[in-house]
């Protein structure tokens, strides 16, 4: 029996753990014990934090896995590719890992490869922002190495200098490497795209229309697949995304690209992660909307096998909605009453107003529809 190591065991990793078990693999899971809801589905669980790469490596030398996998986490991706490199398994290169998990290094790679990106600078101190004169307002401030809408702030102009300094300080505080990236804000509709890469050959699976709270923090409120774009626009998007994937040297993994379509139809790449999209986009929505088993593809590629593009289910419209208010709960109850057949999954829902929503991890819950 082949052995699969999964890095992480939270809600977003649980579908991957279940899929590996269903496919008949022996599943070994590493994660911090707190919140490790996927642990019960593993054959073996090791309560080791996903950032403890050396500890995990020593254990993996005993396990002798055939593949290392994870989904929807940049932090886990660092460990996945480190282990794959040390153990001689399939993954992306360490160079790819470095530039695809750091927004500043990513922007530099995009720019050098001719990918259309907004102007940007890196900041390490909110008191030293002379370089900001290079940018046109409005601008976006964010940590260089975080995801999930953490510490993202839109600044309209230099009159908001105090707000700017606070935003930079918050971004630096939340950054693992204590740096922030500032980039020009791009007008346009937000989308994301899921792809799978095998030996450097890329396949676009689907495009997602993104819904957010808007300025200043842009926390995701929902996602819809398919995005309802023309074939001509999809081809244009695919060309730009594949250019981005090549610039980041993504060769053997899923990928999640975030981009905007400007009012004049230009494609502007915001960022690309060498992993599935979070928010259940990769783990659930892709299969609902395309019929493709994306989770199996991730495992297949990690095992060194070509991904299988057989449709395992009939494609439907896929929607995920996040709970922010009592009105959102009421909308869910209405759907349950009028269209119970649409309900695909409902997460546990926290008490409304039990805490502040400051990023994607603090939303009260969510539900998925297959329409």
Residues 205 and 354 in one domain: yes
Per residue in 73-97, pLDDT (tens digit) is: 889 999 999 999 999 999 999 999 9
Residue 137 within any structural domain of the chain: yes
Residue 47 within any structural domain of the chain: yes
Residues of the chain with pLDDT under 50: none
**Pairing mode of beta strands 318-322, 220-225:** antiparallel
**Pairing mode of beta strands 201-212, 120-123:** unpaired
Residues 239 and 254 in one domain: yes
Selection from 183, 168, 164 nearest residue 111 by Cα: 183
Q: Which CATH number belongs to the domain containing residue 49 in this structure?
A: 3.40.50.20
What local confidence, expressed as pLDDT, does residue 161 receive? 85
> pTM, whole model, 2 decimals?
0.92
What local confidence, expressed as pLDDT, does residue 162 receive? 87
Q: How many domains does the chain have?
A: 3
What local confidence, expressed as pLDDT, does residue 148 receive? 63
Residues 262 and 141 in one domain: no
| CA separation, residue 1 to residues 86, 121, 240 (Å) | 22, 49, 40
Residues 168 and 208 in one domain: no
What local confidence, expressed as pLDDT, does residue 16 receive? 95
Residue 215 within any structural domain of the chain: yes
Residue 94 within any structural domain of the chain: no
Q: How far, in Å, CA of 142 to CA of 74, rounded?
A: 15
Selection from 133, 181, 122 nearest residue 157 by Cα: 133
Residues 73 and 193 in one domain: no
User: Of 184, 218, 239, which residue constitutes the final position of a domain?
Assistant: 184
User: Of 165, 184, 203, which residue constitutes the final position of a domain?
Assistant: 184
Residues 126 and 152 in one domain: yes
Secondary structure (3-state) at 144: coil
H, E, C per residue of 42-77: CCEEECCCCCCHHHHHHHHHHHCCCEEECCCCHHHH
Residues 50 and 133 in one domain: no
Per residue in 138-150, pLDDT (tens digit) is: 999 999 988 766 7
Residues 266 and 160 in one domain: no
And the tokens for 369? 């529809």
Residues 228 and 362 in one domain: yes
Whole domain around residue 60: which residue ranges? Answer: 3-89
């Amino acid at each position: 029996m082949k052995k699969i190591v999964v890095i992480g065991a939270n809600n977003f990793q649980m579908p991957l753990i279940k899929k590996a078990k269903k496919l008949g693999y022996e599943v070994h899971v590493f994660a911090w014990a707190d919140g490790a809801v996927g642990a019960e589905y593993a054959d073996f669980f090791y309560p080791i934090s996903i950032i403890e790469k050396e500890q995990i490596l020593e254990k993996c030398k005993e396990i002798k896995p055939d593949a290392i996998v994870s989904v929807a986490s940049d932090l886990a991706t660092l460990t996945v590719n480190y282990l794959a490199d040390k153990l001689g398994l399939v993954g992306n290169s360490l160079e790819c890992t470095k530039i695809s998990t750091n927004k500043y290094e990513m922007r530099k790679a995009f720019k050098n490869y001719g990918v259309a990106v907004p102007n940007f600078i890196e900041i390490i101190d909110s008191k030293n922002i002379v370089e900001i004169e290079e940018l046109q307002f409005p601008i976006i401030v964010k940590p260089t190495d975080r995801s999930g809408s953490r510490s993202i702030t839109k600044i309209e102009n230099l009159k908001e200098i105090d707000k700017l300094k606070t935003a930079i300080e918050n971004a630096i505080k939340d950054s693992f490497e204590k740096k922030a990236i500032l980039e020009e804000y791009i007008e346009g509709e937000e989308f994301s795209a899921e792809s799978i890469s095998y030996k450097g050959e890329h396949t676009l699976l689907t495009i997602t229309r993104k819904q957010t709270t808007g300025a200043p923090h842009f926390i995701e409120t929902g996602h819809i697949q398919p995005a309802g774009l023309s074939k001509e626009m999809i081809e244009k998007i695919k060309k730009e995304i594949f250019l981005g994937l090549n610039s980041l040297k993504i060769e053997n993994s899923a990928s999640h690209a975030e981009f905007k379509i400007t009012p004049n139809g230009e494609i502007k790449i915001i960022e690309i992660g060498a992993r599935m999209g979070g928010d259940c986009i990769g783990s659930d929505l892709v299969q609902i909307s395309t019929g493709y088993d994306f989770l199996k593809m991730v495992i297949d590629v990690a095992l060194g096998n070509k991904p299988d593009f057989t449709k395992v289910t009939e494609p439907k419209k896929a929607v995920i909605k996040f709970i922010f208010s009592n009105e959102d709960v009421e909308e869910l109850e209405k759907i349950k009453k009028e269209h119970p057949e649409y309900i695909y999954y409902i997460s546990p829902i926290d008490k409304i107003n039990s805490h502040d929503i400051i990023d994607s991890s603090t939303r009260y819950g969510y539900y998925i529809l297959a329409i």
